[in-house]
Amino acid sequence: MAHTTEEVIAGLAELINEETGISTDQVSMEKSFTEDLDIDSISMMTIVVNAEEKFDVKIPDDEVKNLTTVGEAVEFITKAQA
């Protein structure tokens, strides 16, 4: 079942919170994973793996580097579910 944009944002916020301790209300579409949320590459890979499982999508390693903001990740996951 495809998730709505809101569900994907909320789900990603939960995954980010679990991995980094960053409050879910800090996670929004325009936030950069590295600059705004200060997420390192190891934590990012964990979040990606967990997001793949949670949303039943595949995020290729070469795509991960292109997903610099929460919004880009949400858009990728939303499209990948279709």
For the annotated catalytic residues, the residue numbers are: 40
Residues with Cβ < 8 Å from 6, sequence gap 6 or more? Answer: none
Question: One-letter amino acid identity for 9?
Answer: I
